[in-house]
Chain A
Amino acid sequence: MVIKTEPFVVNIGPVHPSTHGVFRMRTTLDGEVVVDMEPVFGYLHRGIEKLAEERTYTGCIPLTDRLDYLASMTNNFAYVLAVEKLARIPVPERAEYIRVIMAELQRIASHLIAVGAFLNDCGAFMTPIVYMIREREKILDLFEMACGQRLTYNYMRVGGVSQDVPEEFVPALSKFLKVMPGWIDEYDQLLKENEILLARAKGVGILPKELAINIAASGPVLRASGVKWDIRRADPYSIYDRFEFDIPTGSVGDCYDRYRVRVEEMRQSVRILKQALKDLPEGEVRSDVPHRLHPPVGEAYAHIEAPRGELGFYLVSDGSIAPYRFHVRAPTLINLTALRDMMVGWKVADLIIIFGSIDICMAEVDR
């Protein structure tokens, strides 16, 4: 007997535990094999770029918190850098160090969620992510000390940061830096050579180097494909040229490489944090900036290495108190360009972990 078969369409999402937000994958399946996939976005579009055109430059900072809510500090950072470039505002030395400390803590916190959620997708349900949330809580405690918030910080200001860190911050951070490397070792003992993880992630969802460059992938996704490109090194902003750190890269660009790059980056962030804490100077944390800022007519693009890749802000000023144009170069949107190429030919179960390994935040994709 001949069984008649045909490919069929299955929508995964928009509300699905493995889509990390509201995202839809319109997949065409042949049995269990993915033959086509089209990503559908927009469920979380809030029109942030339009909203920003009616706010003052300072008033836009809380909007940036709501882009990638797992890495609000780095969003603040990229935005204030763009405004400072536009209005040529200097930043005090102590504020520069505090910003780097916050950005690197944020990178660790964000990668912990990325790695934990990825392992969740792989089937290690809840155990690893609970370990990682345990560590992330310590970082959120530090953020709460500095600015009173645990998710949307609104901490950085044009020309510095909103307030100095309290006295207990530095001892608490030193304590955290002492224990964090041990925790990373603990994950490695549990997971690095884990047979199930290797079987699920090695060789799966390969993003070749040439394609990664062509689609302008950035962050861990680009580096896992073997491209040694990190904006902190390639185009140093703030005071990143003063720190020593390595740029971890992968070799083949599969899901396992992306996971490894993130774990290694956490170690490098700890390294940067130790140096920054050692050199942290005393002094002002904010330069004298008027509340109603009128940057000169012009435009500026500033980009940073956010946990998910190159986060850039393109601002155009017409001399008024609100930006004439506010554009966000969202790393996760652009990293998704090659999603179809990475998924076609794999099974549905692999599709979930390929998507998880890119580490997206829909609030930033849709804006």
Chain B
Amino acid sequence: MTVLSGEELAHQIEKKFPKSIIESSPECLVVDSGFLLGVAAYLKKTPRLDFDYLSAITAVDYLDYFEVIYQLTSLRRNHSLVVKTRCYRRDNPSLPSVVSLWRSADFQEREIYDLFGISFEGHPNLKRIVLWDGFQGHPLRKDYL
């Protein structure tokens, strides 16, 4: 499996979506959350990239911001890319949902909502998945003890 360089892709994406890339390195691409859906659709629908398989989504609480990580793969071309986005608010953080592009995001976004408290706008059924509805707090946040 070839790992596509985030740096090279950043140039192509910036041409189409100016100022959409916050950071890029050979390992990953950090996308501004406002451009996330546009960039994700570009990655999925450009035939040369063809990212048809969103293998995993997860989040990390870095205290200053939440980072959400998307592990993208193309089954036809056998290459992969890590895309990240950030959310700087701690109260009612929110990001666009990618369920409309990859349904594999369905349960995983619900899990992030449940354990980190990040809402995903446009998710068809956003509610807690492993904890019960009346549960207070979001356990995977670093300030939850």
Contact = CB atoms under 8 A, between A and B. Distances in A.
Interface in A328-359: 329, 333-334, 336-338
In this complex, which of A42, A216, A325, A337 has the most chain B Cβ atoms within 10 angstroms of its Cβ? A216
Contact of B103 (A214, A218, A324): A214
Contacts of A41: 129-130
Interface string B31-59: 00000000000000000000011111010
Contacts of B75: 213, 227, 229
A333 B104 CA distance: 10
Contact of A329 (B55, B82, B102, B115): B55
A367 interface: yes
Contacts, number: 78
B52 A235 contact: no
A314 B56 contact: yes
Interface stretch (A43-51, A168-176, A263-271): A43-51
Interface residues of B, number: 30
Contacts of B58: 314, 325, 327, 329
Interface string B69-92: 101000100101010000000000
Nearest to A367: B130
A338 B69 CA distance: 22
Given A42-B130, A50-B140, A366-B130, A312 B60 contact: no
B5 interface: no
A229 B76 CA distance: 9
Interface in B92-142: 102-104, 106-108, 111, 115, 128-132, 139-140
A55 to B, nearest CB: 15
In this complex, which of A215, A218, A366 has the most chain B Cβ atoms within 10 angstroms of its Cβ? A215
Contacts of A213: 52-53, 75
Interface of B: 1, 52-56, 58, 60-61, 69, 71, 75, 78, 80, 82, 102-104, 106-108, 111, 115, 128-132, 139-140
5 residue pairs, one from A and one from B, having the closest CB atoms: A216-B104, A235-B1, A329-B56, A42-B130, A45-B130
25 contacts: A42-B130, A45-B131, A49-B115, A50-B139, A214-B104, A216-B53, A216-B55, A218-B55, A227-B75, A234-B1, A235-B1, A301-B56, A301-B71, A303-B55, A312-B71, A314-B69, A314-B71, A324-B60, A325-B58, A327-B58, A329-B55, A329-B58, A337-B103, A366-B130, A367-B130
